[in-house]
Amino acid sequence: MITRVRPVGVLVGYAVEAVDGPVGTIHRGTYDRGRLVVLSRNEVEVTLPVDAIQRIDHRGRTVYLGVSRESVAG
């Protein structure tokens, strides 16, 4: 669980990696709803709960998920 969070908008453009490989990039976020919109590699918008985030590498501009690519439809 992430304890220190920057505003979700800061994450727009970050790469998204599932436990088994790349998923896409963060397209937009809605902090009040606890959701991120990811633009998948197939150019499909996928909505994910922020609870799916395992860690964030701000230097590498990458969000790592604790779920598989298969569980991220798109």
> Which CATH number belongs to the domain containing residue 20 in this structure?
2.30.30.240
For residue 1, is it within any domain? Answer: no
DSSP 8-state class, residue 2 = -
For residue 70, is it within any domain? Answer: no
Number of structural domains the chain divides into: 1
* Among candidate residues 30, 49, 1, the one with its CA nearest the CA of residue 72: 49
Write the CA distances from 70 to 3, 5, 37, 38, integer angstroms: 26, 26, 16, 14
> For each of the chain's 74 residues, which pLDDT tens digit applies?
444 455 556 888 999 999 999 999 998 765 557 788 888 888 888 888 889 999 999 999 999 999 999 988 75
Domain hosting residue 42, numbered range? 8-65
